[in-house]
Structure 1
Amino acid sequence: MSIGLTGLLLVAGGGALGGMGRLALANLVARRLGAAFPWGTLAVNLSGALLMGLLAGVLGPSAPGGPGPLWQLLAIGLLGGYTTVSSLSLQTLTLWQQRRIHAALANLLATLVVGLLALVLGWWLAGGPA
Structure 2
Amino acid sequence: MNPLIFLLAAACGGLGAATRYLVDIGIARATGTRFPWGVMVINVTGSLVLGLVVGMLPGAAFVVGAGFLGGYTTFSTAMIDTVALWREGGRRASVAYAGGMLLAGFAAAAAGLALAQAL
Fold similarity call, TM over 0.5: yes
In the alignment, residue 44 of structure 1 is paired with which amino acid? I
Task: Pick from 6, 9, 33 the counterpart of residue 7 of structure 2.
Answer: 9
Aligned to 1:31: 29
1:44 aligns with 2:34: no
1:69-98 CA-to-partner distances (Å, cap 9, x unmatched) read x22221110000000011101110101111
The TM-score with structure 2 as length reference comes to 0.92
Measure, in 2, the Cα distance between the counterparts of 1:91 and 1:35: 13
Which amino acid is the alignment partner of residue 37 of structure 2? W
State the alpha-carbon separation in 2 of the partners of residues 49 and 34 from structure 1: 25
CA distance in 1, matches of 2:61, 2:39: 23
The number of equivalent residue pairs is: 118
Aligned partner of 1:124 in structure 2 is 114
Q: Distance in 2 between matches of 1:77 and 1:93?
A: 27
Query: Shift of residue 4 of structure 1?
Result: 4.2
What is the Cα-based RMSD across aligned positions, in Å?
Answer: 1.3
Per the normalisation by structure 1, the TM-score is 0.85
Q: Which runs of 5+ in 2 are unaligned?
A: none
Question: What is the aligned-residue identity percentage?
Answer: 35
4+ residue runs over 2 A deviation: none
Q: Which has the higher helix share?
A: 2
Residues 1:104 and 2:94 aligned together: yes
